[in-house]
Structure 1
Amino acid sequence: MTACADGGISVAQSQTVVVKIGTSSLTKKTGYLAISVIATLVETLCALQNAGHRVILVSSGAVGVGCARLNLAERPKTISMKQAVAAVGQGRLMRVYDDFFTSLNQPIAQVLLTRTDLVQRSRYVNSYRTFRQLLQLKVIPIVNENDTVAIEELRFGDNDTLSAQVASLVGADWLFLLTDVDRLYSADPRSNPDAQPIHIVEHVEQLEDLQVQIGDRGSQWGTGGMLTKIEAARIAANAGVRTVITDGQHPENLIKILAGESLGTQFSPKKTVANARKRWIAQSLVPAGKLYLDAGAVKAIQTGGKSLLPAGITEIEGEFEQRSSVQLCDAQGQEIARGIVNYSHSELAQIMGHQSEEISKILGYTSSDTVVHRDNLVISQSL
């Protein structure tokens, strides 16, 4: 991608770009919207769209805007209050976006998601088709968690995680996390003058070797800190998406980064990526229980690419139904894989430790010879 003399940009090839902007970038300390930042963001996204890219915006800010609208001095603590305030702020936030995008003749669409939309396979596929159709129509989807109806157990919890899930869902090339620091540092640069900048991370696990200190707190109005951004980068990397953490006060830098400039911190994507179904199992489903396995079963799954049979199960934890997601753990409780079970917890309690040919005799029927088939199983290294 290169800059043009007329201020536009040209691209070598069309790419799918997901941009997440946080509340700390969208609002001032007073809680009111930072209009100049929004204007620059909109101009940048329209430039990318006009250059032939497919653009998705994941926007925080609904609760922050709602708080300002209701003259609240701090972010609500209870779920019901957050949902009410989000309902107040969401309409106002979309009104602002619509005014700015309309001034540049760019159509937008509001997409509100809950974790349930990505947990249920049919809704996951339908969400993908909706995004695909919107992008084909050259519409910029503006995504947020549907805070007004999401239940605590099935919430994304922060828009960093949501943006990574969306990037994985649509098979994006880039995920930009716009935040209140210009890149990842070895410590918080706002409180530690010795903090060292990190320009590129080849593997998320590398951060442990770099001794990076990662806080778990967001801003006064936001929910995500650097920890959630690292987790988002991990999810995106496993889906083959390159992630960039960069300064939300300067959205125009997105164009420079896509042109090759070294701004922000980049997380390299994995070269080998699981198929869409296995990414759904690994990243979208919420495990409902745990199965503890003997050493033979662990080896068969990790190195042999085998399915899990009832004979390899030593213990069951949790209550779950058939087709639920579960974690597969070794004797020490370390997760080695996760997958979709063919039997409920009560059925497994009867057949665990037995051979597959005994299932029919014990239960009176056989749903499957396997507890978790290898096609519905993802090794933890891919999570």
Structure 2
Amino acid sequence: MTTFAPQSLPNWRRAVLKVGSSLLAGDAGLDPVHARGLAGFIAASRAQGREVVLVSSGAVAAGRGRIGAAGTGTAKNGIVQRQALAALGQASLMGFWQALFDAPVAQVLLTHDDLRNRRRYLNARTALQELLRLGAQPIVNENDTVAVDELKLGDNDNLAAAVASLVEADLLLIATDIAGLYSGHPRRDADARPIERVEAVTPEVLAMAGGAGALGTGGMRTKLEAASKASAAGIATALFCGRDVATVDALGNDVLHGTFIAAHGSRISARKQWLRHSPTAGVVEVDDGAKAALLRGASLLPGGVRAVEGDFRRGDVVDVRAGDGTLLARGQAQYNAGESARIAGRHSRDIEAVLGFRYDEAMIHRDDLVLLQHTDTPKEATA
């Protein structure tokens, strides 16, 4: 079988690494034989000042290992059984990874609904960013105990793409049990050739992918679908074999032996596009000083807010207007309408004293804000 030639990875500061069940499951639960190398890569990256969010499958396999194959029986409702096994295995999965890291691990359970709901999306992002700031090792897993459709689809790959966008990663790394994407099934087609770079995930590229694996619930197709979503958010993806020690070691030197799927556009432009066209739930009126700061690219601090209108929740998108009614920007609120009204005009350091808590020093962070022309036409300002 033809091997993948080495290629350089782009510079990255934050990455999401997805590890599937096929790399973790053993005969009696979880087996660290492949996980050790991946954990070593994460540790080496952290030592270089980089950040890696781990998206890990394996809770179902860990749960099965706790009760043994006989305990699973032949239940007719496979989804219910998998939910129960996931609940049994979550603690074991975290203990499994904790044994491989010096840093404390932190479990984050998500479903796709958490990422579709803008308020929960913002809460999840804030929590992950704080975990990274604290030096913890976030480990994200799908909340299999309550997720039904996700379990049937087996798309922790797609969850990883969503997490990459959530934490504004530079790179999505997907560890699999084969070397990368081939033009055909490498174990069945003697003429299958490695595809080392994909510029866009087209129907022709998807046609090269096979079905689901035996241990995991996703296959190469779900990985390509995830890469396509990451690409649309401005994030490149690298597919590689997590079983191969040399391949994993090379990643630590920013060398990929696998398939690289290019990003399109930028992360910022993708998010700004979403904000530009989102329905708004309220209005925040700002003074001239805040207006000038916003046009320079700053966040909106509470001190520059004069009035709050509407009944919006944390995570909702609101319009930002000047005192004369001119539309300046559109952004995602860090505080709900009542909280925003209470801290309007106050210094950021007073937020906790007024509310009893503080999410952020800004009412709208600059990463969650798109500048508009000084009209009601939502076009990004050139200032």
Residues 211 and 68 of structure 1: CA distance in aligned 2, closer, same or farther (over 3 Å): closer
Q: CA deviation at 1:229?
A: 0.3
TM-score, with length taken from structure 1: 0.64
Partner of 1:271: 265
Q: Aligned residue for 1:51?
A: 48
2:143 to 138, 141, 146: 146
Report the alpha carbon displacement of residue 250 of structure 1 after superposing the two structures with TM.
Answer: 3.2
Matched residue type, 1:227: R
Instruction: Give the alignment of 1:99-138 within 5 angstroms.
Output: 99-101=99-101, 105-138=102-135
CA distance in 2, matches of 1:13, 1:199: 18
Kindly indicate whether residue 221 of structure 2 is the aligned counterpart of residue 227 of structure 1: yes
Q: Which secondary structure does the structure 1 equivalent of 2:100 belong to?
A: helix
Distance 1:281 1:82 in 2: 40
Instruction: Verify the 8 A CA contact 2:240 2:256 in the aligned structure 1.
Output: no
Partner of 1:64: 61
Give the % identical residues: 39
In structure 2, relative to structure 1, the CA distance for the partners of 1:158 and 1:31 (3 Å cut) is farther
1:215 equivalent to 2:210? Answer yes
Against the structure 1 CA distance between its residues 154 and 118, is the aligned structure 2 distance closer, same or farther, given a 3 Å change threshold? farther
Which consecutive unaligned segments of at least 5 residues does structure 1 have?
1-10, 283-372, 376-383
Alpha-carbon distance, 1:127 to partner: 0.8
* Structure 2 equivalent of residue 27 of structure 1: 25
Q: Give, as a single letter, the amino acid of the residue that structure 2 aligns with 1:33.
A: L
The one-letter code of the counterpart of 1:60 is S
What stretches of structure 1 move > 4 A for 4+ residues in a row? 11-14, 73-77, 153-156, 277-282
Q: CA deviation at 1:259?
A: 3.4
How far, CA to CA, are the matches of 1:185 and 1:153 in structure 2?
26
d(CA) in 1 for partners of 2:201 and 2:36? 33
Provide the rounded CA distance (Å) in 1 between the counterparts of 2:141 and 2:255. 29
- Equivalent position to 1:164, from 152, 161, 165: 161
The amino acid of 1:166's aligned partner reads V
The residue type equivalent to 2:58 in the other structure is: G
Asked if residue 248 in structure 1 is aligned to residue 246 in structure 2, the reply is no
Query: Using a 3 Å threshold, how does the CA distance of structure 1 residues 50 and 252 change in structure 2: closer, same or farther?
Result: farther
Match of 1:295 in 2: none
* CA deviations over 1:303-322 (Å, ceiling 9, x no partner): xxxxxxxxxxxxxxxxxxxx
| TM-score (normalised: structure 2) | 0.64
Deviation track 1:300-354 (CA, whole Å, cap 9, x = no partner) reads xxxxxxxxxxxxxxxxxxxxxxxxxxxxxxxxxxxxxxxxxxxxxxxxxxxxxxx
- State the alpha-carbon separation in 1 of the partners of residues 80 and 377 from structure 2: 41
CA contact (8 A) 2:235 2:263 kept: yes
Contact 1:158 1:224 in 2 (8 A): yes
Secondary structure, in 3 states, of the residue corresponding to 1:134?
helix
Deviation at 1:221, TM superposition (A): 2.1
Cα distance between partner residues in 1 of 2:211 and 2:16: 23
